[in-house]
Structure 1
Amino acid sequence: MSEQSVLSFPSLPLPYFLESGKTHYMPGESHPNRRNLGVFDLILVQRGCLFLGEENLQWALRAGDMAVLMPDAHHYAVQECREETSFYWLHFQSAASSTADHASISHNIKLPRQGHIPYPEQAYQLFDTLHLQATEPRSTAFWREQTLFIELLELLDPSRSDQEQSRVRKVAEQVESYIKMHYREPISNARLSSDLHFHYNYLTRCMKASHGVTPTEYLLQYRLDQAKRLLLTTQWSMARIADHVGFQYPPYFSRRFSARFGLSPLQFRKQYTE
């Protein structure tokens, strides 16, 4: 699956559900033409065949097939339905921030632009449950809708069904867990390779593919995130915090903290605690 055929959303802030429904077309009916809808439109066909296009892309979507239409694109019917066709639709939005590098380490949510999903019946059930939330009080339905939407995104994530991607993700998660357990200690490339029983180059490829960073970059980011938490919750000195999270030299800690968060550790503490 090419990078162009997969959408990637930062998990922080999470994509969020707006509304959903189910549409039924008789032979001769077709999907409406629309431009700049302003939201992502996820379509999952349950029955029949939906002939749908977006810009220069055209699809014949059959039962179990899905597509995600982009917010700023032109969507149109390629042709009328030839048979009774039913499909679920869901509108969602992503509030990805341009200041993502100020946030904690974030996983990327992968979503195929178009294709056949691995467990269509499970997806249909999630859509039907979402539809039922429309009859619930909004104060209750809101939380349930967002939870069901995240379950649907997880089901559609291609990295969770592809065997090779699954192996890569598991190795990356091993690296992640190891770093979280040992980040206060000196962690070299050789130590990672020896303790996890993989060549460091392979660990790096897995981390880059799954998390978008190398093990060394992840370690640095995690140490800085822990330092940020200590700056807000303790009165420890900069030197003590640096040592506690694994930095041997306080000036180096201060430089890396400033580079990532745009403030020195002392400025960060003053801004958020005074």
Structure 2
Amino acid sequence: MADHSLLTFSPLPLPFYIESGRSFYAPGDSHPSRRNLGVYDLIMVDKGCLYLGEEGQQWALGPGDMVILLPDAYHYSVQGCLEESSFYWLHFQCHEPDASREDSPMAHSIQLPKQGRMPDPEQAFRLLEALQLLTVEPRSTAFWREQTLFIELMQLLDRSRIDQEQTRVHKVAEQIEAYIKRHYREPISNARLSEALHYHYNYLTRCMKTAYGITPAEFLLQYRLDQAKRLLLTTPWSISRIAEHVGFQYPPYFTRRFSARFGISPLKFRKQYTE
């Protein structure tokens, strides 16, 4: 069942920053109602209380609270502020990834809380203040710095990053990933992986399945195929040499697995992009 408390974004293309600001409300002031704004509206309250609704949900947002309003939804003021209040707002967008692009199943996804407490309000406000200072800079100067600050803010809010850092399972999975990437050209057996990482292979498999949805053996196979794909485009090497270079003992087996994953043989893949 989908978790509607989280907004999940594909890692590519990355969400990108559009604009931001800070608003100050006197008692009785209220947030404007909007429909189909066309951008994600991230609101972070630093003083007072903001009363907002979106479709069937309503929130009273106090200092340190945040909400992300959706680009295609109707949001509105539930009531005016009861005290002096201020909040930062930030508009960002995220284009849908190309459906034809072959994503790796172990790619990271960005998971932002729809609404809740910010994990580190002081750091978030510092990043937002830095963005405000850039509004008076020439666009040619400010653009890359704005995007960098925005990505830092996304990283701060990314729930999956926070959860992963707090669990040993994900740390072990990252150790497996790193080991395979360093040694993928060599024979990697279950016993060798267990000996290298000092865990039983069943536990390593459970960690990898939990974190990435695939086993270490599947990760190894896919990583080898990805490296082979790159070599097909960047070298004149024969299919047999590429297969051996990335760790396949038998070229026919390599060809069969490559075709199964990408829907095309290695030779046809090379010709498709080099002729």
Separation in structure 2 between the aligned mates of residue 209 and residue 139 of structure 1, nearest angstrom: 43
Paired residue type of 1:227? A
Contiguous gaps of at least 5 residues in structure 2 = none
Aligned residues of 1:16 and 1:146 also touching (Cα < 8 A): yes
Structure 1, 122-131 or 33-42: larger mean CA deviation: 33-42
Separation in structure 2 between the aligned mates of residue 41 and residue 205 of structure 1, nearest angstrom: 38
SS of the residue 1:46 aligns to: strand
% identical aligned pairs:
68
Alpha carbons of structure 1 residues 270 and 200: separation in structure 2 relative to 1, 3 Å:
same
Match of 2:26 in 1: 26
**1:96-134 residue CA offsets vs partner (Å, 9 max, x unmatched):** 232342569632122111111121111001011112222
Match of 2:153 in 1: 152
Aligned residues of 2:164 and 2:170 also touching (Cα < 8 A): no
Aligned residues of 1:159 and 1:165 also touching (Cα < 8 A): no
**Aligned-residue offset at 1:201:** 4.1
Match of 1:37 in 2: 37
SS of the residue 2:4 aligns to: helix
Alpha carbons of structure 1 residues 150 and 168: separation in structure 2 relative to 1, 3 Å:
farther
Paired residue type of 1:133? L
Match of 1:60 in 2: 60
Alpha carbons of structure 1 residues 226 and 131: separation in structure 2 relative to 1, 3 Å:
same
Give the aligned length. Answer: 273
Separation in structure 1 between the aligned mates of residue 176 and residue 24 of structure 2, nearest angstrom: 47
**1:51-99 residue CA offsets vs partner (Å, 9 max, x unmatched):** 1122222211111111112222221222211111111111111222323
Contiguous gaps of at least 5 residues in structure 1 = none
Q: Does 1:142 align with 2:126?
A: no
Paired residue type of 2:216? P
Separation in structure 2 between the aligned mates of residue 205 and residue 254 of structure 1, nearest angstrom: 29
Please tell me the root mean square deviation across aligned C-alpha atoms, in Å: 2.3
Paired residue type of 2:246? V
**1:17-39 residue CA offsets vs partner (Å, 9 max, x unmatched):** 11111111111111122222222
Alpha carbons of structure 1 residues 163 and 231: separation in structure 2 relative to 1, 3 Å:
closer
Match of 2:220 in 1: 219
Paired residue type of 1:51? Y
TM-score, reference length from structure 2: 0.89
